[in-house]
Amino acid sequence: MSDPANITLVTMDGTTFTVPSAYLHRSKLVQDWLRSEGDKQAMEVKHVTPFVLQGVLNFCEIHAEDTSEPLADPADPTKPFEADPRDDAFRGMPDDQLLQFTMAADILQIPELVRLTAQEMASRIDGKSPDQIRAMFNPDDLAEEDVDSDNEMGEVGEEGAISK
Amino acid sequence: MRSPTLPPEILTQIFKHVDPTRDLLSCCLVQSMWCDCALPLIERAPTELLLDPHEMPRLRRTASLITEAAVTAPRVLHAIRGVTVNLDYLFDYLPDGRCVLDTAASDTLVSILLPLSSLQDLHLSRPNHTHHIQVLRPFLQQLSSLGATLTHTSITNCGHPHTPDDDPSHPVADFLLTFSQLTSLTLTHLVAGDSMARSLFQLHKLHSLYLYDVSFPTPTHPLRIPLTRWRHLNTLHIQHPDPFLQTLTTLAVACPITLCHLYIVAPPHSYDVVNPAVHLLLQRLPALRTLALIGFATLAHLDVLSPLFCNCPQLELLDLTDCSSLPDHSMPLTSLWPYLRALRISGCTAMNGELVLEVLSRCERLEEVELTMHVGCHLPVSAALKRRGFMFDGEERPPMGSGWRWKRE
């Protein structure tokens, strides 16, 4: 039986992180898991690398005591986005890392982090031509990789990127 | 360094934060899946594509994207259903003081708009109306082919503020003539002359007409005849009609009897005696579901509204806000409205609560009442409202001059 005050998360390569459950109160995935399978030893987060999970947990720790209401929709137009200096680490991040964080936020269903990373990605698209965006995301190559990577689900990609 | 493949739901999340006026179009042209994710957002926010010729580099980029889309992804062009164009920046002043069309900006705008073969909503805005409207004629003429698909349009400030632009004819009026499918038209801040009247006359498919601060100073009053031709007209909003009395009189003889929603906001400080015209008008409108007569300061006899009590069984909303001389004693009620949902009589300072009490006792579906303060304070009225399950909506004691809104739980 796991400690109800803490939660252990296991990444794709087996690395474990044990943090107070309260840090992850904004993660719908974790909250659902705690309700249904909270008696298990650890929650697997298969598609997230240790580096990215560490960053996500840092975000959750920084915002653990925020009193704002949880976001239902990351793109809720009635709740305008306000830059928070505590999140500056995401702003200087390389594009590929930021994408991994966007995906991890979506997997863990943390609307506040989804909004932060999506907003940052959108600002990087700002003013770019289709060619410049292609160079940034390289989606055509990635579309080919999609087919190949189906057989490699869960493997760590080059330089820590995720192969889905 | 490789980036992870972005699933559609992540792309959609990112695109929701992308500037729809510029960058969403770029995203559409990146890759097929990107286009799939971005197109619904373009379709859902049709009027967000603001074309501002003042920022030429951005405008040229949009033109280039449109050209690229025409070749590689025509479905993008079909998805753009609405465009807002700020016309103010199409005007250029020469050193000698003459005002001419900025042809570079005009050509770029035309190259963006013409390929949009599914355009339905076009909003032309001219915030600064000191420029001469005739200068726009070549630009609007080039856009005439758009008229075949447009169903909704709004035109702001496209007329001189003081005199009608009828020399030789109003270019916007000529432009409107091409709108064969138009069902909704909004005109704002316009002095309409004969040519505009004739154009309005041709829009026989109109379903909704909104005229805000539009005046008709010439003898050919455009509402005199066309209203009878607009047999599909369902909604008519007129704010600050000028001339006030003539517009009402015209409506009274020419309004289509099928009209369902009528909103008239009287011009400020108007003391025209409008009682006979309003009475006649209401006699002609048995299908009314919404009636708003706002700021009719000289409406002084409840008898004027008697056609409403007898002839309009489908009425759902009655708004008499700021009809400050209208009393409610000796009401000529013979029957009342079974479907009435809202009654608004804030600013009706001559009323003492009889209308509210009568409506409360007869209209089972009433959900919202907005009262002037002294009526709201009237004990029998507030007691009756509470008995029927109404609660204050908002501040317990709103500021002086504002309405007291009660809503049923």
pLDDT at A153 > cutoff 50? no
Decide if A95 is inside a domain: yes
Are B4 and A138 a contacting pair at CB < 8 A? no
The model's pLDDT over B375-397, given as tens digits with 9 standing for 90+, comes to 666 778 888 888 888 888 766 66
Are B17 and A100 a contacting pair at CB < 8 A? no
Mean pLDDT of A145-155: 37
Global ipTM? 0.76
Pairing label, strands B404-408, B390-392:
antiparallel
Kindly state whether A81 is in contact with chain B, defined as any CB-CB distance less than 8 angstroms: yes
CA gap A41, A109 in Å, rounded: 21
CA gap A7, A35 in Å, rounded: 12
The model's pLDDT over B50-87, given as tens digits with 9 standing for 90+, comes to 666 667 787 888 888 889 888 888 888 888 888 888 87
Q: Which residues of A touch B31 (CB under 8 A)?
A: 134, 139-140, 143
What CATH code is carried by the domain that includes residue A40? Answer: 3.30.710.10
Which residue range is the domain that position A129 belongs to? 6-151
Number of other CB atoms surrounding residue B20 within 10 Å: 20
CA gap B175, B192 in Å, rounded: 14
Kindly state whether B33 is in contact with chain A, defined as any CB-CB distance less than 8 angstroms: yes
Are A127 and B16 a contacting pair at CB < 8 A? no
Are B9 and A106 a contacting pair at CB < 8 A? yes
Numbers of helices and strands, H then E, in chain B: 16, 16
Contact by Cβ (8 Å): B123, B154: yes
SS3 state of residue B266: coil
Q: Up-side HSE of residue A123: CA atoms within 13 Å toward CB?
A: 13
Contact by Cβ (8 Å): B233, B256: yes
pLDDT band at B294 (very low <50, low <70, confident <90, very high): very high
The model's pLDDT over B148-185, given as tens digits with 9 standing for 90+, comes to 888 888 887 766 544 444 455 677 888 888 888 899 99
Are A134 and B18 a contacting pair at CB < 8 A? no
Integer distance in angstroms from the first to the last C-alpha of chain A? 31
Kindly state whether A94 is in contact with chain B, defined as any CB-CB distance less than 8 angstroms: yes
Decide if A64 is inside a domain: yes
Mean pLDDT of A11-22: 87
Domain count, chain A: 1
Decide if A35 is inside a domain: yes
What is B297-323 written as a DSSP string?
TT---GGGGHHHHHH-TT--EEE-TT-
The model's pLDDT over A112-122, given as tens digits with 9 standing for 90+, comes to 888 889 989 99
Element (H, E) at A6: strand A6-10
CA gap B9, B399 in Å, rounded: 47
CA gap B392, A152 in Å, rounded: 62
CA B7 to chain A, closest CA, distance in angstroms equals: 8
pLDDT at B190 > cutoff 60? yes
Number of CB pairs < 8 Å for A and B? 110
How far does CA B171 lie from the centroid of its chain? 21
Contact by Cβ (8 Å): B248, B264: yes
The model's pLDDT over A73-83, given as tens digits with 9 standing for 90+, comes to 776 666 666 77
CA A77 to chain B, closest CA, distance in angstroms equals: 9
Q: Which residues of A touch B26 (CB under 8 A)?
A: 125, 128-130, 133
The model's pLDDT over B332-350, given as tens digits with 9 standing for 90+, comes to 565 678 899 999 988 888 8
pLDDT at B220 > cutoff 60? no
pLDDT band at A40 (very low <50, low <70, confident <90, very high): confident
pLDDT band at A136 (very low <50, low <70, confident <90, very high): confident
Mean pLDDT of A85-107: 87
Decide if A22 is inside a domain: yes
pLDDT at B30 > cutoff 80? yes
Number of other CB atoms surrounding residue B245 within 10 Å: 15
Mean pLDDT of B396-407: 68
pLDDT band at A157 (very low <50, low <70, confident <90, very high): very low
CA A2 to chain B, closest CA, distance in angstroms equals: 32
**Which residue does chain B place closest to A145, by CA atoms?**
B5
pLDDT at A147 > cutoff 50? no
Decide if A1 is inside a domain: no
What is B40-99 written as a DSSP string?
HHHHHSGGGEEE-TTSHHHHHHHHHHHHHHHHH-HHHHHH--EEEEEGGGGEEE-TTS-E
Mean pLDDT of B191-207: 79
pLDDT of amino acid B2: 45
Identify which of B332, B320, B386 has the alpha carbon closest to the alpha carbon of residue B358.
Answer: B332
Decide if A139 is inside a domain: yes
Decide if A40 is inside a domain: yes
Q: Up-side HSE of residue B323: CA atoms within 13 Å toward CB?
A: 27
Q: Which residues of B touch A138 (CB under 8 A)?
A: 2-3
pLDDT of amino acid A154: 36
Kindly state whether A156 is in contact with chain B, defined as any CB-CB distance less than 8 angstroms: no
Phi, psi dihedrals of residue A162, rounded to the nearest 5°: -95, 130
Kindly state whether A125 is in contact with chain B, defined as any CB-CB distance less than 8 angstroms: yes
Contact by Cβ (8 Å): B294, B264: yes
Pairing label, strands B99-101, B91-93:
antiparallel
